[in-house]
Amino acid sequence: MRFKKMFEKLKINDKYTMRNRVCCAPMAFALVACIPEVNEKSFRKLEAPARGGDAIVSVGELDVNFTDAVRIPLDPIDFKAKDGYAVEKIGEYARRIKKHGAIALCELAHPGAEKVPFSDKEEAIGPIDEIRPNGVPVRAMTKEDMDRVAQDFATAAKFVQNCGYDGVVIHGGHGFLFTQFLSSTYNKREDEFGGSLENRAKFPIQILKTIREATGKDFIIELRISADDGYVGENHGVTPEETGMFAHMLEGIIDLIQVSTGIYYDAVETHQFSSMFVPHGVNAGLSEIVKRYTKLPVGVVGGINSPEQIEEILEKGQADYIVLGRQSIADPELVNKTKAGEEDRIRRCLRCYKCFPGSPEEGYTDLPFDSKELAKTVGECTINPLANLPFDPYNLEPIKEVKKVLVVGGGVGGIQAAITAFDRGHDVILAEKDGKLGGMLFFTDIDIDKPDLRNFKDVMIREIERRDIKVLLNTEITVEKIKEINPDVVILAVGSEPNLVKIPGIENAYQSLDAYRGKVKLGKNIIFIGGGLIGAEQGLYLAKLGHKVTIIEMLPRIANEAYGMYREALIREISKENIEVLENTKCLEIYKDSVKVLTAKGEEKIIKGDTILYALGMKSVNIDEIKNNLDKNIEIKIIGDAKKPGKVDRAIKEGYLAALEI
């Protein structure tokens, strides 16, 4: 077998053995199970990786109390209840997971000083008295607080055990309570809980021992821990070496230790949620260090999205098992596909943050939702249209009749529509005016920051090749051509084209996508007119090639249509390169070797450049002729950019749903 280590079993304790070395990281929020309008979506989200072959699937955060541990303002439950609504609903996660042969865990969490109080009955507590940067006062925990919180963890663990779970994941990382006590930088206590590592570890060990005493020897206890807080210099606290020593102290108390990194409230910078701009498997070096100190099985999480890397990490002995987070949403069938020898069909996570863009508590003020709404919707995916659907895609009614379906446009939205229509049983033709499929994602073949998006495009093309779908390349679809094909349904996925804004001298500039196509001879100094996502990302790409780039944007910020962690990651990456960003700046006129702008201060200014590119937004391709002249008996569906210019996620989802409606 090619992936031998990946499919080895791993004994956890006398009762439980992992069927392979791949686990699903804690996802969703446990308490969402108690929200009737969204709980089914959440159940399916966790059922999917269990069905897909993962050995362990973990349900996301369950606050251990509802005073100082609350992170998301969801309705509280009674942890002492033996039955009733909460037991039934939270237990449904476990039943769905275990139905497919996976081990079911639930994550218990206490944010400590990172808590944001949602009422005057709540407070933030931690190792020390302080005022957090967000203005929240934190009270130093007393010994009585520690005893109470340790018992809260144990009570919540007993509740989870009663709900039918095989064990718990204790969230000890990402700047939460465990990390606060373990960090020599943060924990400045002068009593028995501060100072040496042994002292700083006392309270976390107390929590874990209290859980073990309450739940028994066979109940799995996994600890998620940040082996490094992600910072450098004098503020660097937690180290992988000390984490390894701490893990050694836990032998005989817990069963598994999962290595993560970073601080939740600075997730991008500290790689707690790694971006597309850092290597995959970013934490494997940390888990390798931790493993040197302990006999506990050590897992690692962090941007791992391929069976090849899973096998490499295991083969090198950097970890004993692999934990997949966002990849479990992008393609929960990774294990099954790999086992079947179909690893080239895996949709590999883009790390685009669509599934979890950040939260208001992290300081993201540009999110289009509050934290409670986020808890309900977390889990969308750019490349997996089945993620977070309001219905069960595994229980669809079969089609009533086979129809001839013509999909016009070979971008990924059209490809998804063709795949889904074919899989439903229809006769499908896919027409593309260019000589190859992939549409607007052609640029991923060139852009050095887009290897995962390129892989997704190529996977989609291969999925077409695997099916008996008739593909017409170099084919312009007209009304006459449609009449010749005579379909029952036409799905228009013809995409969008660049806007041409009337700026004096625009003929002296080039449309930016033509630079990807090799149609522009680029000079050393490049001016971008338009700093939306296209301008910002392409400007970054060209800067990485060695060009000096200036981005001119009318709005107060570039990449304005992005938000949360992705925009932060992009802006951080831009700041590292030779790029000048001029926001609140209007382009007045374009010359052959310069542009005239109106600056944020209201001054006119000339900016010199060798090559001038414009990225001024996109508009839908005009489809009026087809819509107005097509036979009324032919059903028309319009998806993706043909309906309204947008991002890949909408094109994929609309392509999938349009095919289901046939």
- pLDDT value at 85 more than 70: yes
Q: What is the mean pLDDT of the chain?
A: 96
Q: Given this model, what pLDDT does residue 360 score?
A: 86
- Mean pLDDT value of segment 148-165: 98
* Span 489-529, pLDDT tens digits: 999 999 999 988 889 999 999 999 999 999 999 999 999 99
- pLDDT value at 28 more than 80: yes
Closest CA to 26 of 93, 94, 107, 90: 107
* Span 607-657, pLDDT tens digits: 999 999 999 999 999 999 999 999 889 999 999 999 999 999 999 999 999
Between helix 451-465 and helix 412-424 the angle, nearest 10°, is: 40
Distance CA 612, CA 599 (A): 18
Q: Given this model, what pLDDT does residue 73 score?
A: 87
- pLDDT value at 660 more than 90: yes
Q: Given this model, what pLDDT does residue 235 score?
A: 64
The size of the chain, in residues, is 662
The pair of three-digit structure tokens given for residue 333, joined into one six-digit string: 């069938």
- Mean pLDDT value of segment 185-195: 95
* Span 375-433, pLDDT tens digits: 777 899 999 999 999 999 999 999 999 999 999 999 999 999 999 999 999 999 999 99
DSSP 8-state code for residue 615: -
* Span 449-477, pLDDT tens digits: 999 999 999 999 999 999 999 999 999 99
The pair of three-digit structure tokens given for residue 296, joined into one six-digit string: 């506990």
Closest CA to 581 of 545, 539, 619, 618: 539
* Span 258-307, pLDDT tens digits: 999 999 889 999 999 999 999 999 999 999 999 999 999 999 999 999 99
Q: Phi and psi dihedrals of 299, rounded to 5?
A: -105, 165
The pair of three-digit structure tokens given for residue 127, joined into one six-digit string: 């190792």
Say if CB 427 and CB 404 are below 8 A apart. Answer: yes
DSSP 8-state code for residue 438: B
Report residue 230's pLDDT band, with 50, 70 and 90 as the boundaries: confident
